[in-house]
Chains A and B, each alone.
Chain A
Amino acid sequence: MNAQQFQDHILCYSDKLYRMALSVLKDKSLSQDAYQELMMRLWEKRKQLEVIENRQAFLLTSMRNLCLDMLRKQPTNGELSPHAAYPDPGPHQLTEEADTVNTINRMIDLLPEMQRTIIRMKDVEEMEITEIAGMMSITENAVAVNLSRARKKLREMILTHQQKENMLYG
């Protein structure tokens, strides 16, 4: 695989890979490092990439595994337990978070890693359940269950947030 083929067949997934890193690591700087690290590794092993059939699944899996390794090496990875509740925003925070879209992103980041990865692959990348199951090496049913939990948790956080806003601003 030469430079042009690497550009056409690997770098075309760059945006998805970088968004995957952002979703797992929740840090822009770390995500940039992870993206560059993965691309360098792929470039060094570019000859082996020619035989891979489902490149998108392979690349996304590689990026997720790399990011999870980075999280494990950190003293505290910032992960909350799967049952953690969305922390109630204070009045000051509500005033600052005028951009509700950013608020939603912050809520998604509070989900457990598997749930937020699945909801983003489904609702942002618009991947099929089958593709997600293959990429994450879990069953389609497990994907559907985690997706439902993620969406319901997100809805719960959104409704809680709206109630707080209504109480604050009437």
Chain B
Amino acid sequence: MDNIDNILNNYFEGKALPEEENRLREYFRNNTVLPQHEVYKPMFAAFDKEKQIVSPTFIIPVEMNNQRMFSFRRLWISAASIAAIILLVVMFFPFNKNNSSAGDYLVFINGRAVKNPEKAQEYADQMFTQADEIIRTSYKPLVEANAIQTKMDASKIFDDLAHTIDHIESLNQ
């Protein structure tokens, strides 16, 4: 038991090795403690008893769902704000066509993307020519109908006929 006394001395000096301290704990947990060491038994028993103290229960707050809803709402508000800002910029920003560079030029003609302004102008001229032709040919039947209507005007026919009759009667007199 000299060994236990030596370990106890080291223990109180704070110099006992971890394995020596474990040996002391085991020694004082047993019922074979020598009378001269009995005085220290309650000390090691107190340490063992404190190990059994357990904490109160901590209930984790159910915050995750609320936070997710909050995040979703915040995301929605952010998206709506960005959309509103873009709309305002599009509506009120003074675009200057002369400032746009050739690289930014892009128009869609008949579903085709055209980046060359001259090509786009050519397409546009062709389309205007076609439109003019369509309009002109569309008006031709209307002009002919107007001419027919003018020729077939009953009052004019009767007036012409009345003039012709008057002219014949004057010749007979």
Do the beta carbons of B58 and A36 come within 8 Å of each other?
Answer: yes
A147 within 8 Å of B by Cβ?
yes
Specify which chain A residues have a CB less than 8 angstroms from the CB of B158 in the assembled complex. none
Known contacts being A35-B58, A124-B47, is A104 close to B11, with CB within 8 Å? no
Which of B12-20, B127-135, B149-157 lies on the face that meets chain A?
B12-20
Do the beta carbons of A148 and B13 come within 8 Å of each other?
Answer: yes
Alpha-carbon distance A125/B122, docked complex (angstroms): 89
Looking at the complex, which one of A108, A120, A158 makes contact with B40 (CB distance below 8 Å)?
A158
Which of A17-25, A48-56, A75-83 lies on the face that meets chain B?
A17-25
A3 within 8 Å of B by Cβ?
yes
Known contacts being A7-B60, A19-B53, A158-B40, is A105 close to B46, with CB within 8 Å? yes
Specify which chain B residues have a CB less than 8 angstroms from the CB of A126 in the assembled complex. 21
A123 within 8 Å of B by Cβ?
yes
**Nearest CB of A to B23, in Å:** 13
Specify which chain A residues have a CB less than 8 angstroms from the CB of B44 in the assembled complex. 123
Specify which chain B residues have a CB less than 8 angstroms from the CB of A17 in the assembled complex. 55
Query: Interface code A37-66, partner B: CB below 8 Å = 1, 0 otherwise?
Result: 001100100000000000000000000000
A21 (CB) vs chain B CBs: closest residue: B55
Looking at the complex, which one of B11, B15, B47, B60 makes contact with A6 (CB distance below 8 Å)?
B60
Specify which chain A residues have a CB less than 8 angstroms from the CB of B15 in the assembled complex. 144, 148
Having A18-B54, A35-B58, A124-B50, one finds 18 other A-B pairs with CB under 8 Å, namely A11-B58, A18-B53, A32-B56, A39-B58, A43-B61, A103-B42, A105-B46, A105-B50, A123-B47, A124-B47, A124-B51, A128-B18, A145-B14, A151-B12, A158-B40, A158-B42, A158-B43, A159-B39
Q: Which residues does B use to contact A, with CB under 8 Å?
A: 11-15, 18, 21, 39-40, 42-47, 49-51, 53-56, 58, 60-61, 63-64
Q: 21 A-B contacts, Cβ less than 8 Å apart?
A: A7-B60, A14-B54, A14-B55, A15-B53, A18-B53, A18-B55, A19-B53, A22-B53, A35-B55, A100-B45, A101-B46, A103-B42, A120-B50, A124-B51, A148-B13, A148-B15, A151-B11, A154-B43, A155-B12, A158-B40, A159-B39
